[in-house]
Amino acid sequence: MPNVAGKRAIRHVIFDSNFWKSFIHARLAVPMGDKSCLSFYGRHPALHQLIAEHLTAEYRVKTVGRGRTVDEWKLRPERNDNHWLDCLVGCAVCGSMLGSTLPEFGTAVKKRVPMTGRLSDIQRGKRAVADVGPACEPGMKLSDIQRRRHGKN
């Protein structure tokens, strides 16, 4: 997501909609109850008629270029409403940006928590109180915190 701080700009996300539409349709094709299945609640298909029409308003065309094959999604001429497909794709993109993954793709990459403290303390091997975790209490000396951390009481 581009940084727009201090600029007259609107935050936006650039993503490959063809990839994400293929991703959503692949999730819909997974058998009910299996890992990574995307399903709808209830037993009555009529309840989901409208979203089904939106999700099938586009069709996939295999395109070969630059040595790779990709899916390109085209709008069906007889159906012009695909808004809920686009919204579902947007939800998948946002989930991915926030670290959500499927079990078969491994675990999410956790964001590193920035260290707090002065660089000179870090270089000398000292740690800031905020990095020690639950083993510290307000008002403790750094030497006591280090002893606790290394198991020396």
Show the beta-strand stretches assigned E in 12-136: 58-65, 68-75
- The 10s digit of each residue's pLDDT in 136-152 is 566 667 777 777 776 66
- Angle, helices 83-97/17-29, rounded to nearest 10 degrees: 100
- Please check the confidence at residue 87 and state whether its pLDDT lies above 90: yes
145: nearest Cα among 76, 117, 49, 136 = 136
110 in a structural domain: no
Instruction: With beta carbons less than 8 A apart as the criterion, state whether 78 and 47 touch.
Output: no
- The 10s digit of each residue's pLDDT in 11-34 is 889 999 999 999 999 999 999 888
- The 10s digit of each residue's pLDDT in 91-116 is 999 999 988 888 777 766 666 666 66
pLDDT for the residue numbered 102: 84
Looking at the fold, whether 67 and 141 belong to one and the same domain comes out as: no
Looking at the fold, whether 87 and 27 belong to one and the same domain comes out as: yes
Looking at the fold, whether 45 and 21 belong to one and the same domain comes out as: yes
Q: What pTM does this model have?
A: 0.64
Looking at the fold, whether 101 and 124 belong to one and the same domain comes out as: no
139 in a structural domain: yes
Return left, alpha or beta for 73; rule: phi > 0 is left, psi -120 to 50 is alpha, else beta: beta
Looking at the fold, whether 125 and 100 belong to one and the same domain comes out as: no
Q: Which domain holds residue 133?
A: 119-149
